[in-house]
Structure 1
């Protein structure tokens, strides 16, 4: 019986201890909930979209990384002389939706917007990436210190075959120590597609996904998302090639070209387009409203299928793009309007064809970039590029 009484006493003591612990836990949860409410209140002050809505008090919230750029742009004056120098951490990336303990949605308007009215890009762009899908060690170790060429391929979510064909053909260059290749995508609410993308990335680890909806009208957001990723995680890569998943890239010829331009600064190389006029027909896929771009002629720009940037312009282009009035023609927007505002050189290179050509070995060897390539055609071009039995003049 003494043994039984002892066991009962111990059980009662444990129950008291458990009750004490539960009280402490309840207090901790209550305290944490109060702090979360305070944090959310502070965050709501930061993300107000209408000027003058915030009360005249000083609010200090620890904001770092990509969101810091957006916050700074929002709070900066409209003067062209103002300078943005956000603090950008190059350390291990944090969750894209979390800045400190605060979730900030600084980009999504509360009401639907009409881009044709002339909307600053920062109002519709959501910074960050789906970080758990990115293999930084594989794509850009040590912030790209030893990466000569970073190839970022914009791809539609459902283009699984196109991505696979590139990986199995010219994408083999991504196995080189000085070359990194990744595909840039947006997001979708389609659960089946998301599942397939997760499985794809678990195998290859080469998908970079932003928080914008993946669509044609958001191509400019996709390019900005690419620039943000480079600025945050691969800023030491020497050159950045932006291209599409229907392109064939002669990587060896491109590397040879870049070796001859290793010391160049503040430059974009590609196929230069001059004196192109905005299309004002609202039924056109390429319609640009006067509110988005008022001039009669676009500034010179490099066409979107493929162009190369020197690394020293990535941050400035990213920040300036957020300030610019948004429209969907990403090549005109990025390499034309934004580049001209920043005084960046755009250089025409004949070998950037950016169009479809007859498939023969000599044509392929002379080109850096060929457009409108179907997934099954990638293998044919790859074979013809490597065929040493064909002699070219």
Structure 2
């Protein structure tokens, strides 16, 4: 029903993700042609030639991008794969892939956007504090942790342990293999 694209430096709270999608399905069970994402509107085009995102006026004549999604994580409704592929055959390639896929091609495929802004955090510090807060499982779906595998493991362990005790039959103990060893080692060291 849905297709998730996520970068490898993003923690996905799968429990919040599933609950949110179920909620949206209740509101609109026939949802189609939709991308759920952190939507950028009127993002400024980088004209600084020293930036890795530099675009000349010849490459992109406008000063702002039309709406597109942050490429770190987004969700397509299942019908979008074929529509996006077909649209991509007619939309000239553009090297800024986030804009190309979720902006130019998506526009040609006539998509609508659902903003996930409040469930998405690009700041590592804010993502960490939100995941660690008691309400984390309801306030954050995606958190960006660039180059921080230890923080990602810590957050994932917290998500799983919280869900294990909240829904003991949903999360099986074997899904904790390395986490449980860490907890046992931490207890033995105390």
TM-score for both structures, normalised by structure 2: 0.71
Q: CA deviation at 1:287?
A: 1.4
1:336–1:363 CA distance, 2 compared to 1 (3 A): farther
The aligned residue for residue 134 of structure 2 is 362
Which secondary structure state, in structure 2, belongs to the residue aligned with residue 285 of structure 1? coil
State which of 124, 147, 153 in structure 2 corresponds to 1:379. Answer: 153
Deviation at 1:387, TM superposition (A): 4.1
1:266, distance to aligned residue in structure 2 (A): 0.4
Whether contact under 8 Å (1:267, 1:347) holds in the other structure is yes
Q: Is the 8 A contact 1:361 1:385 kept in 2?
A: no
Determine whether 1:306 maps to 2:73. Answer: yes
Counterpart CA distance in 2 for 1:317 and 1:289 is 27
- State the shift of 1:334 in Å: 1.1
State whether structure 2 residue 42 is matched by structure 1 residue 275: yes
Contact 1:240 1:309 in 2 (8 A): yes
Structure 1 residues 256-295: aligned runs within 5 Å: 256-262=19-25, 263=29, 264-295=31-62
C-alpha deviation, 1:367, in angstroms = 0.6
Please state whether the residue corresponding to 1:268 is helix, strand or coil. strand
How do residues 1-393 of structure 1 correspond to structure 2 at under 5 angstroms? 238-262=1-25, 263=29, 264-349=31-116, 350-356=118-124, 357=126, 358-359=128-129, 360-362=132-134, 364-365=136-137, 366-373=139-146, 374-388=148-162
Q: CA RMSD in A?
A: 2.4
SS of aligned partner of 1:245: coil
Residues paired across the two proteins, number = 154
Q: Equivalents in 1 of 2:59, 2:78: separation in Å?
A: 28
Could you tell me whether the CA contact under 8 Å between 1:299 and 1:340 is conserved in 2? no
C-alpha distance in structure 1 between counterparts of 2:109 and 2:162, whole Å: 44
Q: Distance in 2 between matches of 1:335 and 1:249?
A: 19
C-alpha contact (below 8 Å) 1:277/1:298 kept by paired residues: yes
Whether the 8 Å CA contact 1:364–1:384 is kept in 2: the answer is no
What is the TM-score when the length of structure 1 is the normalising length? 0.36
Structure with higher RCO (Cα < 8 A, 6+ apart)? 2
Q: Give the Å deviation of 1:302.
A: 1.4
Query: Which SS does the other structure have where 1:346 is aligned?
Result: strand
Give the 3-state SS of the residue equivalent to 2:107 in structure 1.
helix
The answer (yes or no) to whether the contact 2:47–2:56 under 8 Å persists in 1 is yes
* Runs of at least 5 residues in structure 1 that lack an aligned partner in the other structure: 1-237
Q: SS of the counterpart of 1:317?
A: helix
Rg (Cα) greater in structure? 1
Contact kept, 8 Å, 1:300 with 1:346, in 2: the verdict is no
Whole-angstrom distance in 2 between the partners of 1:268 and 1:343: 11
